[in-house]
Amino acid sequence: MSRALKDFRLNDRAARAKLTPRAKPYWRLIADGRHLGFRSGKTSGSWIARFREPGSESGYTSAKLGLADDRTEADGRTILSWAQALEKANEWFAIQVNRVGQTAKVRSVEDAIKSYVAIQDARATERAGRKLRSVASSRLQVHVLDDDKLPVIMLDRLSEADLRDWLGKITGIKNTSKRRLCADLKAALNAAYVTDRAVLPRDFKVTVSEGLKPSAIDGDSDDTAARDNQILDDDIVRKIVAAAFAVDADLGRLVILLAATGARFSQLQRLRVRDVQIDASRLMIPSSRKGRGRKPGYYRLQVGADVIEALAPAVEGRASDAMLLERWAYAQKEGLRWVPDHRQPWSVASEMTKGWKKAIALTSRSDIIPYALRHSSIVRGLRRGLPIRLVAALHDTSVEMIERHYARWITDGLEDLAVKAIVPMLEAA
């Protein structure tokens, strides 16, 4: 039996920088028999892929993909980010499958989901620093793997009708949740196509896309109602921020950033001390992991002096590469008594649930969710007439998403400008 390979955090620049330079690459498992490696050099690193037919006792075939973007921004050709290297590696893996004439076994929907979930769980565990199941894992288990038909269908025989039949049986959840579920399943099936394309129909991705089209989900009234309910006036936002600080200073710093930036929790929990530029009243917000295509590692965002002042205790006297937002971790001591034990970074959004509920209880509202702060920030920009493209850029999203989900407030925000375009249609008497 071969020795288990240790996976390294090669997708993180900071983690790669800490690796000891050596001739032997550091490897990350992509799929059975497929690895993406990083060779850490004294001046720059490089990406390497290696392939071996699953179950084979022969050695690996490897190829150099390009330089890593540790010192120079990626260009997608010779200098590659992690995402670009992974895409290039998968293309190379597909070539190797065809070259060796591998007769791959067609997998089932269940097999594809389990492979995808394993990767998502590994990422969630890596980000949290402890064993953790991804949200996608739970959703797919309950709504797909527990289904009596879809999981056993072989991928080469999967049809649009199969997917629509499954989707028609999903009841009891909101349309927004159903869309997320479809997105998870689509991602799992498309990931299977990347590795199994040699034995799958060429139109497989079209089948998946058409079978799980958003239009197959009836209506979107609950989506609109939920967002309407979560657009907060500035006074309410300020009350929530004050209440969060009243509960706990660590929670307060997280909440004031959620309110002031409109960023996602997953972005803010990656902030480092160096990302707070006090003299310029500016934050360098890490880009989200959502969406496709090349994205810069961060974007600049101006904030008020009150936000900078609130962050001062988390900045002063700390190392520049330390995580900005931390909280107390508790340990059980002296019987059943829980006491503060050590400081650690925030890792998952659920860690703020208990404190958030306490803070909301101090306000006049009881139905507010943390994501309401992002909704409210986007709408605030639209109401004040900021260009839609600027609002999208400041919230690390696309113009398409803004137009799709915030159309009503776009109209409201541009009403005053539209009035200026009105001219008399009749000549003055």
Query: pLDDT tens, 64-105?
Result: 999 998 888 888 888 999 989 998 988 888 777 766 554 557
State how many domains the chain has. Answer: 3
Q: Is residue 347 part of a domain?
A: yes
| Domain stop point among 99, 120, 152 | 99
Please check whether residues 185 and 324 belong to one and the same domain. no
381 is a domain residue: yes
One domain for residues 289 and 402 = yes
One domain, residues 253 and 399: yes
Mean pLDDT of 40-50: 86
Helix then strand count (H, E) for the chain reads: 17, 10
- Asked, for residue 353, whether it belongs to a domain, the answer is yes
Residue type present at position 141? Q
* The domain boundary residue, chosen from 199, 219, 239: 219
Which is nearest to 283 in space by CA: 265, 293, 264, 268?
268
Q: Which has more confidence, 175 or 219? A: 175
Are 377 and 262 in the same domain? yes
Contact 102, 53 (CB under 8 A): yes
Find the helix or strand (DSSP H, E) in which 47 lies.
Answer: strand 46-51
Q: Which two tokens stand for residue 175?
A: 């349309």
149 in Cβ contact with 166 (< 8 Å):
yes
Pick the last residue of a domain from 198, 219, 240: 219
Query: Is there a contact between 329 and 343 (Cβ–Cβ < 8 Å)?
Result: yes
Residue 65's CB is within 10 A of a number of other CB atoms, namely 22
Per DSSP, the three-state class of 326 is strand
Say if strands 61-68 and 79-80 run parallel, antiparallel, or are unpaired. Answer: parallel
Q: Given pLDDT bands bounded at 50, 70 and 90, which one contains residue 216?
A: low
**Domain identity same for 88 and 182:** no
Q: What region does 66 belong to: left with phi over 0, alpha with psi -120 to 50, or beta? A: left
- 32-41, 100-109, 315-324: least confident range: 100-109
The residues near 4 (Cβ < 8 Å, ≥ 6 apart) are: none
Q: Are strands 46-51 and 34-39 parallel, antiparallel or unpaired?
A: antiparallel
Structure tokens given for 396: 């690390």
Percent of the chain clearing pLDDT 70 (strictly above): 87
Summarize pLDDT for 339-397 with one digit per residue, the tens.
888 899 998 888 899 999 999 999 877 789 999 999 999 999 998 888 999 999 999 99
* Judgement on whether residues 232 and 215 belong to the same structural domain of the protein: no
Q: Supply 80's token pair.
A: 């590659």
300 and 348 both lie in a single domain: yes
pLDDT digits (tens, 9 = 90+) for 114-168: 988 888 888 777 766 667 787 888 889 889 998 889 999 999 899 999 999 998 8
235 and 319 both lie in a single domain: yes
Q: What pairs with residue 201 in β-bridges?
A: none
Looking at residue 397, which CATH number applies to its domain? 1.10.443.10
Length of the chain: 429
Encoded tokens for 328: 């107390």
What pLDDT sits at residue 20? 87
On the question of pLDDT at 220 being above 60, the answer is no
Asked whether residue 247 falls in the same domain as residue 388, the answer is yes
Tokens matching residue 40: 């850490």
pLDDT category of residue 221 using cuts at 50, 70 and 90: very low
Residue 361: which domain range? 227-417
Average pLDDT on 209-234 reads 66
Tell how strand 326-333 and strand 298-302 pair up: unpaired
Checking if the pLDDT of 250 tops 70, the result is: yes
Q: What is the CATH number of the domain that holds 44?
A: 3.30.160.390
Mean pLDDT across the chain, nearest whole number?
Answer: 84
Residue type, 56: S
In whole angstroms, give the CA distance from residue 81 to residue 215.
Answer: 34
Dist CA 68 CA 19 (whole Å) = 13
